Structure 1
Amino acid sequence: MTELFLVLLSGVAAGALNAIGGGGTFVALPALVAFGMPPVTANAVSRVALLPGAVASAWVYRRELTPVGPTSTKALTAISVMGGGVGAGLLLMLPASSFDAAAPWLLAFATVILAFGRHLSRALGSALGRSVGMSSPAVLIGQFFLAVYGGYFGGAVGIMMLALWSIGLGLDAAVSNPMRIAQLAAIYLSAAVLFLLASNTLSAPLVLAAMLVGAVAGGFVGAHLARHLPTWLLRGVLMATAVITTVLYFLRG
């Protein structure tokens, strides 16, 4: 019961972090691995568990959704669903050893994006000039590759989305945050369906249920509190979690 309660708390934290700024994978994945799950199974379970939390956050943000540049919301969402499914398929088709070998490097890459993504967005946006904007096909192509990454691994994919939209379209991260969480839910949707149908995600139903319930609570509350909480503190905790998790994964290898 103590372990399940800790998984529940991890779900709350992951759902809240996804709602506020991204990075819930950095909490959910290591918590499930610590519980004893193989990394590939933990990755699949975290995606299924975090989906309802992302949907809850998107529901809270539903009146604040704004289009991403010239791209229609329907097209962007369809691409996110498609890419998420492709990424999840890659995770299931490739040998487990491939993910075990890639996970530390993916975590390291996501940690760098987490640490410097916003600064890089501002610097490149300033260098490129705000008058230069990505075309709708370019936005969709970029979104597809991010969604594939999100379906396969997912760490900091929301932050990468904000970086792409900021650099390519000059969109403000705060204004784009509701659309970020909506697209995160779309990526998780196809990935979760595939994981439920073709993996052993349901092999630990109590663990899945505990993280799912926590993620819904965290996602709902996190979205409501996102405008009021000091994000610098949350980013600091998230950054520390990301760095520690990355180091531990490299040490495991």
Structure 2
Amino acid sequence: MDFWTTSLLLAVAAFAAGVLNAIAGGGSFLTFPALVFAGVPPIMANATSALAVSPGYLGSTLGFRAELRELPTRRLQREMTLSAVGGVAGALLLLVTPSHVFAGIVPWLLLFATALFAVGPVLARRAQAASHSGQGLAAWREPGLLLVAIYGGYFNGGLGILLMALYTVAGESRIHTVNALKNLNSLVLSWLAVGAFVLAGAIAWKEGLLMMVAATAGGFFGARWSRRLPAQWVRVGVIVTGLVMSALFFARSA
């Protein structure tokens, strides 16, 4: 592809990802494949995709400032520290993964993230039921957060669903609190992971900066369009996109 075609592909993918993340999530199903199809090596594409969608986490976190102020400061500090450690650990794990190994597991990661997105609502309901019935796993809250943060630093797909399920199972009964914690820890681990990618020289800056701008614009318009677009339609679109991308990457690795 020539420069203008590649730039258009990346900008459209990032804008659409911003819209998706504002409505239902799943934007990484577009940004990561677009970078790979544009010729960026898989590990660098994954790192650059994380950079592209990272600004959206800040706006989401600021939207839940009131809920975060109600939580114990020490608990927030501990969990932010765990998220930071996990995000950096996941990023370092990605950076030491041989390129051919990562290329081989990418289709499985995409398929896992798609399946996770598809069963997200069911997972959330079951987690909430377990919490209400007194079967929550509060003792696993912090170890679970560390593991999820490592996954998020390594591959961002489905991160929000895992965090929401974790907090619900661990006993958080208020959905706004769960969302606030999900956004805050996604912000921390993603920005720390991106920082590690930057220091390691794993970011494709020309593509990444273009996609950051487009994804931010998509998030702005997505927030406005979220009142008009049925979320269920968007979810189906994300799942179909994830399945198609998984199939394409399986075909590439065959």
Q: Provide TM-score, normalisation by structure 1.
A: 0.87
Match of 1:146 among 148, 151, 156: 148
What's 1:248 paired with? 248
Q: Kindly report which structure 2 residues correspond to 1:1-253, keeping only aligned pairs within 5 A, or say none.
A: 1-65=4-68, 72-123=75-126, 125-126=128-129, 129-135=132-138, 138-169=140-171, 171=173, 173=175, 176-202=178-204, 205-223=205-223, 226=226, 229-253=229-253
Range 125-134 or range 109-118, more displaced = 125-134
Whole-angstrom CA distance in 2 between matches of 1:145 and 1:238: 25
Call closer, same or farther: CA 1:186–1:128 in 2, change over 3 Å: closer
Kept in 2, the 8 Å contact 1:66–1:176? The answer is no
Q: How many residues align?
A: 250
C-alpha separation in 2, matches of 1:32 and 1:129? 43
Distance 1:167 1:183 in 2: 17
Structure 1 unaligned blocks of 5 or more: none
Report how far residue 112 of structure 1 moved. Answer: 1.3
Native 8 Å contact 1:29 1:43 kept in 2: yes
Structure 1 SS opposite 2:153: helix
How far apart are the structure 2 equivalents of 1:110 and 1:119? 15
Assess if the C-alpha contact under 8 Å between 1:53 and 1:218 holds in 2: no
> Structure 1's 236 and 152: CA in aligned 2 closer, same or farther, altered over 3 A?
same
Once residues 65 and 218 of structure 1 are traced to their aligned partners in structure 2, the CA distance between those partners, rounded to angstroms, is: 26
Q: What is the rounded CA distance, in whole Å, between the counterparts of 1:226 and 1:133 in structure 2?
A: 32
What letter is aligned with 1:34?
F
Q: 1:216 to 1:80 in 2, by over 3 A?
A: same
- Cα deviation code 1:2-56 (max 9, x no counterpart): 4313312221222232333322211110111111111111001111121122223
Alpha carbons 2:131, 2:168 under 8 Å: kept: no
TM-score, reference length from structure 2: 0.86
SS at structure 1 position matched to 2:119: helix
Q: Secondary structure at the match of 2:40?
A: coil
User: Is the Cα–Cα contact under 8 Å of residues 66 and 175 in structure 1 kept in the other structure?
Assistant: no
- Quote the RMSD (CA, aligned, Å): 2.6
